[in-house]
Amino acid sequence: MSNKMWGSRFSSGPDAIMEDINASIDFDKRLYAQDILGSKVHCQMLVATGIISSEDGEKITHGLDTILSEMEAGKFEFSRALEDIHMNVESRLAELVGDAAGRLHTARSRNDQIALDFRLYVRDTALEFENALQDLQLALAQKALEFNDALMPGFTHLQTAQPITFGHHCLAYVEMFGRDCSRMRDARLRMNECPLGAAALAGTSFPIDRHMTAREMKFDHPMANSMDAVASRDFVLELLSASAITAINLSRLAEEIVIWCSAPFKFVKLSDKFSTGSSIMPQKRNPDAAELVRAKVGRIVGALTSLLIVMKGLPLTYSKDMQEDKEQAFDAFDSLGLGLAAMAGMIRDLEPQVDNMEKYAASDFSTATDLADWLVRVADLPFRQAHHVTGQLVALASARNITLDEIPLADMTKVEARISQEIYDVLSAKNSINSRTSYGGTAPDNVKQQALRWLDILQSNKEVP
C-alpha cells in the first residue's frame, strides 16, 4: 500500500527495512511543540495573504491545538509508518478537519519545516544553557565570597606551586563559565533567522509573507537565501561546539572535585545528596556525580564530531543524511543540561575542609616565589639571581626536612648576605596571599570584590562588561 502522503508517484509501500532506516519519528517527536507552532504561524500567514480561506485557517488552527493537547497529555499515537513528526501531525490533522488539512502544506516543504523545527529547538536549548550556566556561576560566586580568605594550595603540574584562596579558585571557574555563557548567547543570536518559506530549496511562487512568519516566531528576519535555509546545519554545529567546550570546563571542575574528595587531599566534602557508597566496602563515600559529569564529555564531543562528518561532504541542498543531525544532538544537549544542573548542585552542597587546605597551602615550599620576590624588591637582586638564591635555600630546607621559615637567619645570610630578619614576614602562606594584590590576584580583598561584582551581574541580569 502506498503512503498517502506521497501522492500517486509510488504504487507500493516501502520495504520493512526501508521503513526502519527512513523513519525518524522515534526521536524527532520531541519537536512536536516546535512543529505545531510553525504550522500555526504558517497557517496564519496563508490566511493573511489570501492563499487559503479564513474558514479553512480556523479549522486547521483548531485541529493543531487539539493535536498539541493530545501530545502534551501523552494520548497521541505516533506511527513509524508516517516517518516523521510532520507527517504524523498532518495525518492526524486530516482525521480531525478533513480536506482543509491538505491546504496547510501550501508553499512549504518538509525541508524548510524541519529546518524551522530544529532551529526553534536549538534556539530554546541555547537559552536554557545560558540560564543554567548563570546558575552555576552564581553558586560558585557565592562560594567564593564565603571563602574569600580560605587558604589552599595552588597547583601547576598538580604539584604545589603557590598559596591561593579557595574563593579565588572558584572565581576562575566563574570566569570560564562566563565565556561559555557568552558563546551560547552568540550562537543563539546568530541562529535567530527564519528558514520557513524556503520550501524545498527554491522558494515558492505563492505570495507568502516571510517577514510575518519570522516576526511571529520572534526571529530577527527571514533567511535571505532559500538554498542556505534548507541546507545549513551550522547552527547545530555551533551550539554543539559551544557545548563541547562547556563540557570540557565542567569536566575539569569535576576532576578537581574528585581529587579534592579523595583521602590524601580531603579538601572538600560532599553530602549524601551527591555521593554514593560501595556494595562491598562500607566505609566508602564516592563522588559519583562528579565522575559522571566528567564522563559526559565523550558523548557531547562525539555528537559534534559525528555531525561534522555527516555534513562535510554534502552538496547543496537537502540530503537524507541530514536526518542524522538530531538524535546525537538531542543526547548531547540532554547530557550537558544534566551536567550543568548536577554541578550547580554539587557546588552548593560541598563543604570546604578549611583546616586541611590550609595545612597543605604552606607545604612543599609554596612561598619560595615570595622569597625570591623579596630579594628583588628589598635586596635589589636581579630576578634570575634571586631565583638562584631561593633555589639554594629550598635545597637547604629540603635536606634538613624543614620549612623555609624554619631556616635560621645565620644560615640564610651564608647563602645571600643581604637577607635580613624581614624575610620571615613573607614566608607564611597567609602573608603570601595577602601580598597578591595585582588585578586578578588571589588577595582576599580582590576575591571579595570580584565575587561581589559577579553576584551583582548574575543577580540583576546585567551584561558582563
For the stretch 176-189, pLDDT in tens is 999 999 999 999 99
Give me the catalytic one of 157, 279, 438, 460. Answer: 157
Task: Tell me how far apart the alpha carbons of residues 256 and 136 are, in angstroms, rounded to a whole number.
Answer: 16
* Active-site residue, 157 included: yes
The pLDDT of residue 2 is 41
Whether 278 sits among the annotated catalytic residues: the reply is yes
Strand 193-194 versus strand 221-222 pairing type: parallel
Per the CB < 8 A criterion, the answer to whether 323 and 306 are in contact is no
Residue length, the chain?
465
**pLDDT for 202:** 96
Note the pLDDT of residue 275: 72
53-67, 183-197, 274-288, 434-448: least confidently modelled range: 274-288
Q: Which position has the higher pLDDT, 368 or 175?
A: 175
Tell me 406's DSSP state.
G
Which distant-in-sequence residues (6+ apart) come within 8 Å of 389 by Cβ?
Answer: 372, 375, 381, 415, 416
Query: Is pLDDT of 224 > 90?
Result: yes
CA distance 272 to 347: 14
pLDDT over threshold 80, residue 333: yes
Q: Is pLDDT at 462 greater than 90 in this prediction?
A: no
pLDDT(314) > 70: yes
**Nearest alpha carbon to residue 13 among 21, 4, 25:** 4
Q: How confident is the model at residue 9 (pLDDT cuts 50, 70, 90)?
A: low
Per-residue pLDDT band for 1 (boundaries 50, 70, 90) equals: very low
The amino acid that residue 110 corresponds to is: R
- H helix or E strand, kind and range, residue 193: strand 193-194
- What pTM does this model have? 0.90
| C-alpha distance from residue 151 to each of 113, 162, 228, 257, 359 (Å) | 56, 10, 55, 17, 8
Q: What is the pLDDT of residues 365-397, one digit of tens each?
A: 888 888 899 899 998 999 999 999 999 999 998
Q: Which of 2, 278, 319, 398 is catalytic?
A: 278
Residue-wise pLDDT for 265-290, tens only, equals 999 999 888 876 555 555 557 888 99
